[in-house]
Structure 1
Amino acid sequence: MELITINITNLLFLTVILLYLVLLGLILTYIYYDAELRGLNGWLITGLTFFSGTTLGALAWLLLRPKMKPQPVPVRSQSN
């Protein structure tokens, strides 16, 4: 049985793959929470983004996402 040797090429390849997966997770997480914040189904938007190609889907979401509705700010009356 041959031992697996890790040379610099394999290490760089695995590092690039790991960084890609982390970045993918961060982008999809942002899109999920942004869609939920805007009142849409986060899982649906995230799935559409993932399956349309994450880069193209993320750009499409950033360009076509609905505007946020302003939230009323509660004001407390001052009573002495």
Structure 2
Amino acid sequence: MELTTLDIPYLLFMATIGVYMLLLVFILTWVYHDAEQRGLNGWVIAGMAFFTGTIFGTLAWLLLRPKMKPQPIPVRS
């Protein structure tokens, strides 16, 4: 019976993949919500950010996104 040893490089690799996946989800979620707030389809913008490379796509969105339209404040009289 052989004792299993900790495979440190494998654990580091898996931890790196896990952190990358968490950052990917966080960034794409932010892009989705930001696009929705600006009146655009969030799924399309998040998909474009994902498929153009997450970093490049997110930077492109930050540079090219439309200005946020001011929301009227309802006033009760």
Same fold (TM over 0.5): yes
- Over residues 8-61 of structure 1, what are the superposed CA-to-partner deviations in whole Å (9 max), with x where a residue is unaligned? 111000000000000000000000011111110111101110000000000000
Structure 2 segments unaligned to the other structure (5+ residues): none
Aligned residue in 2 for 1:39: 39
> Segments of 4+ in structure 1 off by > 6 A?
none
RMSD: 1.7
Structure 1 counterpart SS, 2:33? helix
Separation in structure 2 between the aligned mates of residue 70 and residue 27 of structure 1, nearest angstrom: 24
SS in 2 for 1:35: helix
**TM superposition shift of 1:74:** 1.7
| Greater Cα radius of gyration, structure 1 or 2 | 1
Aligned pairs for 1:1-80 (under 5 A) are 6-77=6-77
Q: TM-score, normalised by structure 2?
A: 0.89
Q: Percent identity?
A: 64
